[in-house]
Structure 1
Amino acid sequence: MFKVENLNKVYPNGTHALKDVTFDVQAGEFLVVIGLSGSGKSTMLRCLNRLHEPTTGRILFEGEDVTHVKGKTLRNVRSRIGMIFQHFNLIPRRTVLTNVLSGTLARTGVINSILGIYNEEDKKKAMDYIRIVGLEGKENVRADNLSGGQQQRVAIARALMQNPKVLLCDEPVASLDPATSHSVMQYLKKVNEELGVTIICNLHFLSLVRQYASRVIALKGGKLIYEGKPLDIDENWFKTIYGEEAVEVTID
């Protein structure tokens, strides 16, 4: 699905956020990226969907070199890559259904989206995704009347409206309490297993990583320092990734 080769990202202020990062992502994987804040996790996701321009290296998506594509080609690439952020980025005064339908913006167009003009096929699909993320019956509830976990599930349904091959999730449960975190992760796992969408997800808590990831990569100071199975991250690897003074916090 993705092949990343010697990826580097240097910001204008001189910060070298990614340093020769190389890895592959197979179709159908639930790949989790771990590391301290500032290790390069978010930068890497944003390079994958080209929100950030890579400095050097190559990114291949479904066999196509997308490292520096622009214009229509870039829009086509992004249409196949959904993204979920830590902050839900919903339209607070709009209903769940309208927020989910906004995921069709690329093909609906700005004017029709503002006017709320959507075709019946998209409306049916939106209702299906609302059901998949466990929000059936909430279609006409305003987004700002939902809990944080429910809002993140709306964001997942909205991303699915793109028909993405891959879903990039940047700390999707960082703003949520432990019980809600598990709920959101379970729905992401459902999307991965039932819809066949490849997931690449940044997470902090290893307890969640061990439960949901099929494979893990770890970044430290912009470098990839671990690639393997979640259960192979023992105490020594934990200290290597997070530092000698780090203490693992568990989400039950």
Structure 2
Amino acid sequence: MNQLDLKDRVMVVTGGARGIGYAVALRALRSGAHVALWDIDAERLERSRGELSALGLGQVSVVTVELTDDASVEAATRQTIETHGAIHALVNSAGITGGNGLTWELPVDVWRRVIEVNLIGCYLTCRAVVPRMIEAGYGRIVNIASVAGKEGNPNASHYSASKAGLIGLTKSLAKELATKNVLVNAVTPTAAKTEIFDSMSPQHIEYMLSKIPMNRFLLPDEAASMIVWLASEDCAFSTGAVFDLSGGRSTY
């Protein structure tokens, strides 16, 4: 595994208690970073902190946070800075699928909740963290979008719309910060076989697999390799970009 230089950098990973977020935290720790995991699942957070801390690498902190609540996000930001002294990188990995269904049959409250978590939650974390990065003169933000945000998956209009919005947010924010040494990029993974599959129908999972030329799902460690590079100082001239992680499905 290639080592990145993240020595003494502090990385916030939302949704860091599991899945791709957990893999990102692990890769960052192995590259010298300290990590703060933000998640709604307090019990899983503590378990993940125990596992990661036992490796004897960087410092690991956790904050239970409701990402759709601006006061909760602001409190998490303050707590993380009090613990670590700074936030150098933000990886927005938290997300939900909201299940599957035809657009006109999905419950309104489910549709709205997916938008709130996947898009507005990322807006709120950026809103809280970006001023601190500007003040420090350095920052890296990586938003975990989806190939669904590029192509629009049937029976997942809420998820597809939220990820398309996140791509747009990434591009706009990156241009606003282009002269601040705060770089903002997105990745668009195809499906990774994580616990998020539990909220999808078998038919939808099979549909996603059928679209991947490599004929397999993404591994969380593969996603972490690209994400952690984008969150490092080595990424110096890419901002507002969308990086493919779809096994050849969507290469634009």
Scaled by the length of structure 1, the TM-score of the pair is 0.34
Question: Whose radius of gyration is greater, 1 or 2?
Answer: 1
> Whose strand proportion is higher, 1 or 2?
1
